[in-house]
Chains A and B, each alone.
Chain A
C-alpha cells in the first residue's frame, strides 16, 4: 500500500511539474525571451538610437511623467480612502466599499469612452471647460485622468487590510503621551502603513506604464503631444515598423521588471515590519 501510493505520488508530482513548467514556459517565458532576443539582436547601439528617436523618447518621457503624477495623487487619495473606509462611519459604506473595485471590472477602452462622454468636446462639461481654456480629452490631462481611474483601487486595497490590523491602542497610547493628532499620524501610523502604501503605488505605477486602452481612447494618438509609449508601440506595429516598436517595448519590459523586483523587496520589508 505505501509503495503503491508512493509511486503514484511520484508520477503525478512529475506530471504536475511538467505541465506547469511547460505552460508557463510557452505562454510567458518563451514570448518574453523571443522579443528580447529580437530587440537585442540588432545590437545595443541600434536600440539606443531607436529609443532616442524624438517620437520614441517623447512617448517614454510622457509615460513616466504621467505615471509619476498619477502615483503621487493616488498615494494620497488612496490612503485617505482606505482610512475613511476603515475608521469612519457613514451611510452606504458597504456600497462604497464594493464600488472601489469598479475600475478593475471595466474594459479599459470602455473607461476611455466614459471619460470622452463626460469631458469630450461635445459634452456640456467639456464645452464649459473649453470656454475656460481647459482641455482634457485629446490632451495630456486626459492621460493622467485615465491613469488615475484605472489604478484607483490599488493603493486602497493594499492599505485597507493593514489599517484594519493596526491597533487603535497604539495611536491612543501616543495621544495619551502627549502627541498631537498630526504627530501621531506621522510618527506612529505612517511608518506602519508605508510598506503597504508603497506596494499599492508600485502596482499602480507598473499598471500605468503599460496602460493602453483607456489612454488611446482619451488622449488619441498625437505624436509629440499625447502619444504615450504603449500607443507609440501600437502605431509602429500598425505601420510595419517593428524596429521602433522593439526598442520601446524593451524599455517598458525592463521597467516593469525593475518595478516587480522593487515590489518583491517591499513585500519582504512589509512582512518584517509586521512581525
Chain B
C-alpha cells in the first residue's frame, strides 16, 4: 500500500523531471564535446587537410623514424620491467606484513604526484655529470643523463605505479584462500602463481599494462629534461613532435601526433572493450 502511494506521488513530476534530465544531459555532453572532442577533431582535420600523401610525408625522414623506433623500444623495456616489478610489488603490499608498510604504499604512488619536470630533474641531480652517483658512473665511462639510460629511467619512474595500482585491489579481493588451497593440494609456488594467481589478476594486469604502455608512449616532460633532446640519439616520438612544432614543420608535428595519440587511444579502447566483454 505504502509503496503504491510512493509510486503515485512520483508520477506527476515525471514530465518536468524528463525536461530537466534532457537539459542536464545536453549541457554535460556539450561541455565534454567542446572541452575534449573539439580539439581532437581540430587536430585530425588539420593533419589530414592536405590529403593522405601529405600526411604520410609528414612521417618521413630519418629523425622521425629514429624517434618512433626509440619510443617503441623504451616502451617495451618499461612495460616488461614494470609489469614484473609491479606484480611483485602488489604481492608484497597485499600478502606480506612489514614495518612502515603504509609509508611504503604512499611512496609507490609518488610518481603520479611528482611533476614530470621535477622527476627528470631528480635524475639529473642524482645521475648527472656533477651528480652524487653520476660522477661515479662517469668515471667508469657510463653516461646516464643526456643518454639512453636516462630516457629509460625516466619512463620507468613515471610508469611505476600503474600495474601495482590495478593489481592490488584484485589481489585483495581474491583473498588468500585459493592460493592456500593450491598449496594444500601440493602445488609449488610457481605452479600456484601461474595456475591460480595469474588467471585471477589477469584483467587488472592487462589494464595496468595498457595504461603503462600509453603513458610510456606519451611521456614528454621527464624525458625532455633528462634526455637532452638529442636528435637521432635521445629524441623520442613526443620530443620529435615538439621539435617539429617549434621548427614550424606543422605537417610533421600533426602527422606524428595523430599516429602516437591514435596508438595509445586504440590500445585503451581495446582494453575497455575486452574488459566489458569479459564481465558479461
Residue positions of A touching B, CB distance < 8 A:
5, 8-9, 12-13, 16-17, 19-20, 23-24, 27-32, 34-35, 38, 77, 80-81, 83-84, 88, 90, 96, 98-111, 113-115, 117-118, 123, 145, 148-149, 152, 172, 175-176, 181, 203, 206-207, 209-213, 217, 229-231, 233-234, 237, 242, 245-246, 249, 252-253, 256-257, 259-261, 264
Contact = CB atoms under 8 A, between A and B. Distances in A.
Given A24-B107, A102-B265, A212-B220, A34 B132 contact: yes
5 contacts: A19-B85, A106-B40, A176-B9, A203-B112, A264-B102
A212 B92 contact: no
A106 B118 contact: no
B115 A210 contact: yes
B208 interface: no
A65 B264 CA distance: 31
Contacts of B96: 13, 16-17
Interface stretch (B56-64, B170-178, B197-205, B267-275): B267-275
A212 B85 CA distance: 27
Contact of A30 (B37, B88, B126, B221): B126
B24 A80 contact: yes
A19 B84 CA distance: 11
B32 A81 contact: yes
Contacts of A118: 38-39, 42-43
Contacts of B125: 31, 34-35, 38, 242, 246
A133 B6 CA distance: 54
Contacts of A83: 24, 28
A217 to B, nearest CB: 7
Given A108-B221, A123-B42, A264 B115 contact: no
Contacts of B37: 99, 102
Nearest to A172: B6
A34 B126 contact: yes
Interface of B: 5-6, 9-10, 17, 21, 24-25, 27-29, 31-32, 35-40, 42-43, 46, 85, 88-89, 91-92, 96, 98, 102, 104, 106-119, 121-126, 131-132, 153, 156-157, 160, 183, 188-189, 211, 214, 217-221, 224-225, 238, 241-242, 245, 253-254, 257, 260-261, 264-265, 267-269, 272-273
A210 B113 contact: yes
A115 B35 CA distance: 9
B123 A31 contact: yes
A102 to B, nearest CB: 6
A256 B241 contact: no
A110 B257 contact: yes
A98 B88 CA distance: 30
Contact of A27 (B117, B156, B211): B156
Contacts of A80: 24, 27-28, 31
A109 B115 contact: no
Contacts of B220: 107-109, 212-213
Residue of B36, B102, B273 with highest tally of chain A CB at under 10 A: B36
A135 B153 CA distance: 38
Top 7 A-B pairs ranked by shortest CB distance?
A: A210-B115, A107-B218, A256-B113, A31-B122, A114-B39, A212-B221, A213-B220
Contact of A90 (B10, B29, B36, B267): B29
B88 A19 contact: yes
A108 B239 CA distance: 11
A243 to B, nearest CB: 12
Contacts of A27: 153, 156-157, 160
A206 B113 contact: yes
Contacts of A29: 107
A107 B260 contact: yes
A98 B113 contact: no
A257 B117 CA distance: 16
A105 B214 contact: yes
Given A102-B36, A105-B264, A260-B113, A110 B85 contact: no
B161 to A, nearest CB: 10
B68 to A, nearest CB: 13
Given A35-B122, A105-B214, A12 B189 contact: yes
A103 B38 CA distance: 12
Nearest to B189: A12
B24 A28 contact: no
A172 B10 contact: yes
Contacts of B116: 108, 210, 212-213, 230
B88 A110 contact: no
Given A24-B104, A152-B35, A253 B121 contact: no
Nearest to B40: A114
Contact of B218 (A106, A210, A217): A106
A109 B238 contact: yes
B126 A152 contact: no
A81 to B, nearest CB: 5
B107 A114 contact: no
Contacts of B17: 181
A110 B268 contact: no
A99 B268 CA distance: 10
